[in-house]
């Protein structure tokens, strides 16, 4: 039936699809109507029908162990990875069906390379794709349905498939057969006629004078008919034959209605009689079963009392053993608590002992080790060298100070001599 619908609709539907996409492939109409959002569902349904015409179930799905896609598989997002792989597989198969060699894509191939190859093959068929390639990465949507639909059309063209006009089956008109029991009546028809007569009588206005005239005429007609009947000349044998002939057509059949309360009452009576008859049969079995169960319970009770009397001393011993066991468990819990406390103290003592042993080992190793003495000697020699250097520096500084003092003293004496000599010369003169 779906294939027939696909055959009927291509001429009008493909024109509408081309108008919605644009005369070229991939061109979108600027003004999109309110139903444009659902257009891809129509394209997807057409694609499924075209794939069935290409026998993709036998040639593709069964060979690759793939599930058949639903009628809206590429129109709604379900699993983008699975949908993208299915889109690439279908596109490659359709390109091969259209007579172009194309390798089947694998799961680990580059998606961008696969999409670019598919779009290049689509453009080689003369179809345009004015949308970004990233629209096909999701594996669903209007552009995915458009690409697959274009490839399916090219594959159908390559195999020489053409749409034909639908061939409607000629329905033969059956002759109406008149039932034998034309005169049979049903209860529903009788009720309907009765209701119609009542409504007609209620709707008509009653005129007393007219009613009296009608009754008078009816009485006169009935009296005339009675006289005619009394003077009848009909043969009795012919009358009986006519009655036998017409009798099967005069029977009235009443169809049973499940909603009728009389049927429910009859069913209730039938169920009641069935329950009563079943109760009579099962009551004896139930009474015998009750008596057996009561006797068995009495035996069990007496046997239980006898066992309790016989095993009373053992029960007392068992209770005493239970009391002793509880006391022993209490003592065990107390002793276990003391053991845990002592274990904790022992662990602390062992930790302190380990620390003391470690300190003793460190001190012993430091006492027996000569490395500190070597370091002390090296430091002493270094100090001696530094003291020698400091002494030298101190000597140099003292020498420098001494020279500076001597220089100052010589300068002072020279200055003093310079001032004294001129005064003596002036005195001589």
Mean pLDDT, range 202-221, rounded to an integer: 57
Q: CB 121: neighbour CB atoms within 10 A?
A: 21
pLDDT score at 32: 61
pTM to 2 decimal places: 0.35
Share the mean pLDDT of the chain.
Answer: 76
User: Are 114 and 88 spatial neighbours (Cβ–Cβ below 8 Å)?
Assistant: yes
Tell me the DSSP string of 198-237.
HHHHHHSPP-HHHHHHHHHHHHHHHHHHHHHHHT----HH
Distance in angstroms (rounded) separating the CA atoms of residues 327 and 190: 95
Burial environment of residue 399 by CB neighbours within 10 A (0 to 12, 13 to 18, 19 or more): exposed
> In the chain, pLDDT over 90 holds for what percent of residues?
20
Local confidence band at 423 (pLDDT 50, 70, 90 cut-offs): low
Query: Is the predicted pLDDT of residue 361 greater than 70, yes or no?
Result: yes
Query: Is the predicted pLDDT of residue 15 greater than 70, yes or no?
Result: no
Q: Write the pLDDT tens digit of every residue in 102-118.
A: 888 877 778 888 888 88
> Which of residues 366 and 30 earns the better pLDDT score?
366
pLDDT score at 178: 41
Q: Write the pLDDT tens digit of every residue in 116-174.
A: 888 888 888 888 888 888 888 888 888 888 888 888 888 888 888 777 777 777 665 54
Distance in angstroms (rounded) separating the CA atoms of residues 395 and 401: 10
Local confidence band at 417 (pLDDT 50, 70, 90 cut-offs): confident
Q: CB 416: neighbour CB atoms within 10 A?
A: 10
Local confidence band at 3 (pLDDT 50, 70, 90 cut-offs): very low
Distance in angstroms (rounded) separating the CA atoms of residues 370 and 338: 50
> Which of residues 394 and 370 earns the better pLDDT score?
394
Backbone angles phi, psi at 120, to 5 degrees: -65, -40
Local confidence band at 29 (pLDDT 50, 70, 90 cut-offs): very low
pLDDT score at 252: 61
User: Are 152 and 94 spatial neighbours (Cβ–Cβ below 8 Å)?
Assistant: yes
Six token digits for residue 193 = 């006629």
Query: Is the predicted pLDDT of residue 296 greater than 90, yes or no?
Result: yes
pLDDT score at 322: 93
Tell me the DSSP string of 232-264.
----HHHHHHHHHHHGGGG-------TT-HHHH
Local confidence band at 58 (pLDDT 50, 70, 90 cut-offs): confident
Distance in angstroms (rounded) separating the CA atoms of residues 11 and 22: 16
Distance in angstroms (rounded) separating the CA atoms of residues 188 and 262: 15
Query: Is the predicted pLDDT of residue 414 greater than 50, yes or no?
Result: yes
- CA dihedral sign of residues 195, 198, 204, 210: positive
> In the chain, pLDDT over 70 holds for what percent of residues?
73
pLDDT score at 299: 93
Q: Write the pLDDT tens digit of every residue in 224-258.
A: 555 545 566 778 888 888 888 888 877 666 565 66
User: Are 83 and 140 spatial neighbours (Cβ–Cβ below 8 Å)?
Assistant: yes
Residue found by looking up tokens 């049903």 in the block: 186
pLDDT score at 392: 93
Distance in angstroms (rounded) separating the CA atoms of residues 258 and 8: 45
pLDDT score at 172: 58
> What's 28's DSSP letter?
P
pLDDT score at 13: 36
Helix residue ranges, H only, 250-311 = 261-310
pLDDT score at 184: 43
């Amino acid at each position: 039936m779906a294939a027939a619908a696909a055959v009927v609709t291509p001429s009008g539907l493909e024109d509408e699809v081309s108008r919605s996409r644009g005369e070229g492939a991939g061109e979108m109409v600027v003004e999109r109507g309110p139903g444009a959002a659902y257009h891809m569902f129509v394209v997807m349904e057409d694609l499924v029908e075209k794939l069935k015409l290409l026998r993709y179930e036998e040639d593709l799905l069964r060979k690759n162990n793939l599930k058949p896609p639903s009628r809206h598989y590429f129109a709604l997002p379900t699993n983008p990875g699975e949908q993208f792989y299915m889109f690439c597989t279908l596109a490659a198969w359709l390109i091969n069906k259209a007579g172009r060699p194309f390798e089947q894509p694998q799961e680990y191939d580059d998606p961008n390379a696969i999409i670019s190859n598919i779009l290049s093959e689509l453009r080689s068929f003369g179809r345009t794709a004015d949308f970004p390639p990233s629209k096909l990465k999701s594996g669903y949507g209007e552009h995915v349905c458009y690409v697959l639909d274009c490839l399916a059309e090219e594959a159908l063209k390559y195999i020489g498939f053409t749409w034909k006009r639908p061939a409607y089956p000629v329905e033969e008109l059956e002759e109406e057969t008149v039932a034998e029991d034309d005169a049979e009546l049903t209860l529903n028809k009788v009720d309907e006629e009765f209701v119609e007569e009542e409504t007609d009588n209620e709707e008509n206005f009653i005129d007393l004078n007219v009613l009296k005239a009608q009754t008078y005429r009816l009485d006169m007609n009935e009296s005339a008919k009675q006289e005619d009947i009394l003077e009848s000349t009909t043969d009795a044998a012919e009358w009986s034959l006519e009655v036998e002939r017409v009798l099967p057509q005069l029977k009235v059949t009443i169809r049973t209605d499940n909603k009728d309360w009389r049927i429910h009452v009859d069913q209730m009576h039938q169920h009641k009689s069935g329950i009563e008859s079943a109760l009579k049969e099962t009551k004896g079995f139930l009474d015998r079963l009750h008596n057996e169960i009561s006797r068995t319970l009495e035996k069990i009770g007496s046997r239980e009392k006898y066992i309790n009397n016989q095993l009373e001393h053992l029960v007392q011993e068992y209770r005493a053993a239970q009391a002793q066991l509880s006391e022993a468990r209490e003592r065990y819990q107390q002793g276990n608590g003391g053991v845990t406390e002592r274990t904790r103290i022992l662990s602390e003592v062992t930790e302190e002992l380990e620390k003391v042993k470690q300190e003793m080992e460190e001190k012993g190793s430091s006492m027996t080790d000569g490395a500190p003495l070597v370091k002390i000697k090296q430091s002493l020699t270094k100090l001696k060298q530094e003291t020698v250097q400091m002494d030298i520096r101190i000597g140099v500084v003292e020498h420098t100070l001494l020279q500076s003092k001597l220089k100052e003293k010589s300068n002072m004496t020279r200055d003093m001599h310079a001032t004294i000599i001129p005064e003596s010369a002036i005195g001589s003169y």
